[in-house]
Amino acid sequence: MIGALIGDIVGSRFEWNNCRRKDFTLLPPACFFTDDSIMSLAVAQALLDCQPDASDLARHAIRQMQTLGREYPDGGYGGMFARWLATENPQPYGSYGNGAAMRVSACGYAGETREQVQRLSRVVTAVTHNHPEGIKGAEATAVGVWMARQGASLAELRDALTTHYYPISFTLDDIRETYSFNETCQETVPQALEAFFESTSFEDAIRNAISIGGDSDTLAAITGALAEAYYGVPETLRQQAMTFLDPRLAQILLDFEEKYPPRPPRSPQE
């Protein structure tokens, strides 16, 4: 979970001022959390609140997203989602925006099987982003997180996610100079996946994601979710990132981690 938040916080200052290199200061004071972190934690809280069979997950997802969204109105939400947050009887609106993928990582922790993860991701996504591309982007992210937590190798993750979700025919070097801001799942999730596939550590994955520009906070949130599940997060980086969360959001993260412990950082030999 915290991997997505770190990616969001690192990317926050680059969303409208892209940095197409990897040698930047990771977490200076100018960083901040955005809607990516807020909605990721809303989904996490919904998963904590719902019944064991997740039969009421959609209701809790709506309630938690609206509750946190209204408590943090300056999160940087897209126009349609902002209207959804303010609606008394919110309905899905056919979105395939990358918000579907940036908020879904908790499903990769809560599901015990691939099928359960797929179902959870579809439920929390369809309350807003019920377009097939929105469902697909979220599911690819959640399944990748789940596979990494199950011990899949980078090669196995690449094979599964490119076979079943997004064929990827580019490298980061191919797109670094030309990739531009795009809010769709289909033009964000493959790039985030490739940033993870080319990584050598959690921090390297985040730097990869930032280095191609685009919607930096969301790209890095998706990449960070996968990278945490695969590499773990170094404790010093975790503690630094926690200072950017307020007590309300930090408590949701801690409650979620108590039920679904994060993986310890990989040793250099792994």
Per-residue pLDDT of the chain (270 residues; tens, 9 = 90+): 899 999 999 999 999 999 999 999 999 999 999 999 999 999 999 999 999 999 999 999 999 999 999 999 999 999 999 999 999 999 999 999 999 999 999 999 999 999 999 999 999 999 999 999 999 999 999 999 999 999 999 999 999 999 999 999 999 999 999 999 889 999 999 999 999 999 999 999 999 999 999 999 999 999 999 999 999 999 999 999 999 999 999 999 999 999 999 988 876 545
Sign of the C-alpha dihedral computed for residues 15, 18, 22 and 24 taken in this order: negative
User: According to the model, what pLDDT value does residue 266 have?
Assistant: 78
Residues contacting 150, CB < 8 A, separation 6+: none
- CB atoms near residue 163 (< 10 Å): 9
Closest CA to 136 of 190, 182, 86, 181: 190
- Of the candidates 85, 81, 87, which has an alpha carbon nearest to the alpha carbon of residue 100? 81
15: Cβ contacts below 8 Å, ≥ 6 apart: 34, 76, 215, 216, 217, 218
Q: Report the alpha-carbon distance of residue 108 to residue 235 in Å, rounded.
A: 21
Q: What is d(CA 195, CA 175) in angstroms, rounded to the nearest whole number?
A: 11
Look at residue 270 in the predicted model and tell me its pLDDT: 56
Residue with tokens 């969001």: 8
Exposure string for 47-59, b = 16+ CB within 10 A, e = fewer: bbebeeebeebbe
> Which residues does 58 contact at the CB level (< 8 Å), separation at least 6?
123, 124, 126, 127
